Structure 1
Amino acid sequence: MTRPDYPALLRADTDRLLHVADGHFDRPVPTCPGWTVERLVGHVGRVHRRAAAWLTTGGGAAEIERPPGSGSLVDWVRRGLDELLAAQAAVDPAQTVETWDGPRHSAFWVRRMAVETALHRVDGELAAGAPTPIDTALAVDGVDELFEVSIPHRGTGRLHRGGETIHLHATDPDLGEGAGEWLIVLGADAVTVEHAHAKGDVAVRGSASDLLLLLWNRVDSAGLGVFGDRTILERWRSAVTV
């Protein structure tokens, strides 16, 4: 499977979010309790600017302007996206960049923002209508990123870990052998994950998009194939609230 085109996907998902938000700024966002669509869109504009600041200054202490009112919010978000993509384009691909988790690969921020923006685009769609799938390559990469970046940083809350295993299997065609399968081991000392075709205590089958949305608590397991001990999956979803 080829690597996701992060800048193109980031722009496409931002454009889609702004499109679905048009005329619906006052609607509540069911997957972000207490937020309206206006606040969701403003948040996306702020995180894009925050990522651009990390890339240009090497730190996250820069003060980020607050979003304007809904009348000029769309243009403000577009300018923030342009700032982020320009900052990313100026980075030497061979160098590392500073992050809240120490030096990381040069694509850290554009990857992080592509995943987050895709998830928030789905949030906006859930508020204004029906969601559309996340790009398959980005969804697979997003599952990897969750276990490489977010879980080590955030932890797993109060999840009981006694060696149970969860197998995820993306059913999208043409992913390549092992690319869309993950074996997650809930070890007492750490959560480990590998791309593997294996049997877990619980197995979940679905599109890569649906698996990513499940792990990020945007959908439940109702539309997915779940086999084995479902309580392990529900414990995970209750404790790991990313």
Structure 2
Amino acid sequence: METDRHIAALELEAQLFAGAARRTDLDAPVSSCPGWDMRGLVRHLAEIHLWAAAQVANRAAKMWVDDLSELSAYWPDLAVFWPSDTELIDWYLKTNVNLVRELTSAPIDLECRTFLPAPSPLAMWARRQAHETAVHRFDAEHAGQTQASFDPEFAADGIDEILSAFAPRGSTFSIESTGTMAVHTNDTDARWYVTMAPNGITTTGEERPSDVTLIGSASDLYLALWNRGDDSTIEVVGNQDLLDSWHHGHRVRWS
């Protein structure tokens, strides 16, 4: 997907997320994020939007902006931690608008800190924030007893991000089983082959022998690989232990 489409998805997913949050009590537990309630989820995503926007705004700098107090130097009107419950969701939407504005106004050759491989820093931040928002939209809708689904192309892009960008980073996975997991979407042409071993994870699009194959819609596989949803919606052929190892071991980290 191109960067402009990621930014459009970021805007759309934010609206859907906010809508789900408005329909649900802020004290409602978010079962897909154990220990969180809806209030905490909204705060988290707003904070992440501010953090991401600060990295983009901090152009060409060789340092992270990662403290809430630092954000006030960029957008004092948004650096309110935390707004009242009656203002919280509107405040969240303002942080999204602010992030979109930073992304759309950034130069194509933007230089800033990143933490995932991508064609450019701008592409990385747009993609990462689109999928951050989409996954938390699922969390918000699930908390409100509704089921999220995603466009096949967007979901396949999210699968690629987690398998090709996040998973190979050495500090993100605790290996319990070793072998190769194939991921086949049945509504796009996308395929991935993920080899898990004690020395790390490698992902390729080139076909290779696999110990387990996951088959399903891009949307269902996207949710399964993000440890959301229900594995009963996908077909698992082969060694279930490898999928269990993924579920138990995968943790998203930015450093």
Give TM-score scaled by structure 2 length.
0.84
Distance (Å, rounded) in 2 between the aligned partners of 1:155 and 1:218: 21
Which residue of 139, 142, 165 corresponds with 2:155? 139
Cα gap change, 1:154 to 1:42, in 2 (>3 Å): farther
Aligned-pair CA distance for 1:18: 0.9
Distance (Å, rounded) in 1 between the aligned partners of 2:44 and 2:66: 17
Matched, 1:79 2:89: no
The residue identity in structure 1 corresponding to 2:197 is: G
The aligned residue for residue 218 of structure 2 is 208
Matched, 1:118 2:134: yes
Aligned residue pair count: 235
Q: Map 1:214-229 onto structure 2 (within 5 A).
A: 214-229=224-239
Distance (Å, rounded) in 1 between the aligned partners of 2:39 and 2:17: 11
Distance (Å, rounded) in 1 between the aligned partners of 2:138 and 2:220: 11
The residue identity in structure 2 corresponding to 1:182 is: W
Structure 2 counterpart SS, 1:114: helix
The aligned residue for residue 230 of structure 1 is 240
Distance (Å, rounded) in 2 between the aligned partners of 1:78 and 1:19: 10
Cα gap change, 1:227 to 1:148, in 2 (>3 Å): closer
Cα gap change, 1:122 to 1:184, in 2 (>3 Å): same
The aligned residue for residue 20 of structure 2 is 20
Distance (Å, rounded) in 2 between the aligned partners of 1:169 and 1:129: 28
The residue identity in structure 2 corresponding to 1:149 is: A
Matched, 1:51 2:52: yes
The aligned residue for residue 40 of structure 2 is 39
Aligned-pair CA distance for 1:233: 1.2
Cα gap change, 1:217 to 1:129, in 2 (>3 Å): same
Task: Structure 2: state its 5+ residue gaps.
Answer: 72-78
Moved more, 222-231 or 148-157: 148-157
Task: Structure 1: state its 5+ residue gaps.
Answer: none
Distance (Å, rounded) in 1 between the aligned partners of 2:19 and 2:200: 41
Matched, 1:60 2:65: yes
Distance (Å, rounded) in 2 between the aligned partners of 1:240 and 1:102: 18
RMSD of aligned C-alpha atoms?
2.2
The aligned residue for residue 190 of structure 1 is 200
